[in-house]
Amino acid sequence: IAEFKIPLEEKITALSKGMVEKLQIILTFSRKVKLYVLDEPLGGIDLVSREHVLELILKFYREDCTLLISTHLIREIENIFDEVIFLKDGEIILHENVEELRFQKGKAVHELFKEAYEK
């Protein structure tokens, strides 16, 4: 925790949103499980904190597990996706391998996301 500059003497309620997200990522990945679910891990935090949270996710991610990320901030994290699932009104409207999708459509994932939800 000290490595990520989270002040140990502070109460969680006194930490910034970015610090709380970092702490939640650390706590989440401290458990060795096969499935991690992150719900909007970048939501409501500044750009620098977003970068730190992404670094933490990449640092702690293991190849022998699945990481499910729910987010609207596609552009910031699309480079770490293997697969994407777009949900609209509770229905899956797209489920594809990211590389195949980029090749087939000739567009970035965030562009496809925008198109899917502008309809």
Question: What are the boundaries of each domain within the chain?
Answer: 1-71, 81-119
Please calculate the CA angle 80-2-66 and round it to the nearest 5 degrees.
25
CA distance 82 to 76: 15
Summarised one tens digit per residue, pLDDT across range 69-84 is 999 889 888 888 899 9
* CB distance 30 to 59 below 8 Å: no
Q: What is the pTM of this model?
A: 0.77
In whole angstroms, give the CA distance from residue 23 to residue 1.
Answer: 8
pLDDT digits (tens, 9 = 90+) for 90-108: 999 999 999 999 999 999 9
Neighbours of 30 (CB within 10 A): 8
